[in-house]
Amino acid sequence: MKKIIHSLLLFPIFSFAQIDVPIHCGYDFTSYFVVHPHEDGKSKTIDNLKISIVDLDGNEVINENNNLSWINSGKPLLFTRNYKINEQNKRIPITEEGKWFYYFANDHYLLTVSNTFPAENYNIKVEDVDGEENGGNFKTQFIPLASYNMYVLCTSEERAKAMQFGRKVTNKPLDIVMEKK
């Protein structure tokens, strides 16, 4: 009986001690770049573009030993198109009713990177490589990156650092207006 009473008295103390521990987020240690390539005067995202991270000389960047991203070690840093899922979490066509898998990216392209990604050392390269879909009509573009371009989805020191300089609106896609050739 004495042990039960001690347990009941100590339980609230241990419970309050846990309040100081920060709650972890599913996106801890991860940030995203989200890009919205579209034509001037239109909001529709252009399909079938190859979007990659390149160095300042225009060379594709390889994710060596997961130094830049937690996924795809040894591969180039390529953006993928967000997609929709149904209630059973199965991938569905964009035209069907459902929700976006990455809720924050809508109908855009995205790339996951580590929170320590040195954005200022890289550019985004957007190229129209699929001749059938777009007819190869769009010019290749190079867009410089900055740390404030990253979506930092968990409140942290990195988010505050990213907001210190640059734009004050965070988690906004890079708006890329594609030009016809």
CATH topology of domain 25-178: Immunoglobulin-like (2.60.40)
3-state secondary structure 141-178: EEEECCHHHCEECCCCHHHHHHHHCCCCCCCCCEEEEE
**Residue extents of the structural domains in the chain:** 25-178
Predicted local distance difference test score (pLDDT) of residue 136: 75
141 backbone dihedrals φ, ψ, rounded to 5°: -125, 150
Q: What is the pTM of this model?
A: 0.76
Predicted local distance difference test score (pLDDT) of residue 103: 87
Side chain identity at residue 42, one-letter code = K
Q: What is the pLDDT along the chain (181 residues), one digit of tens a residue?
A: 566 655 555 555 544 444 545 555 545 567 899 999 999 999 999 988 999 999 999 999 999 999 999 899 999 999 999 999 999 999 999 889 999 998 889 999 999 999 889 999 999 999 998 666 676 789 999 999 998 899 877 755 544 554 555 545 567 899 999 999 8
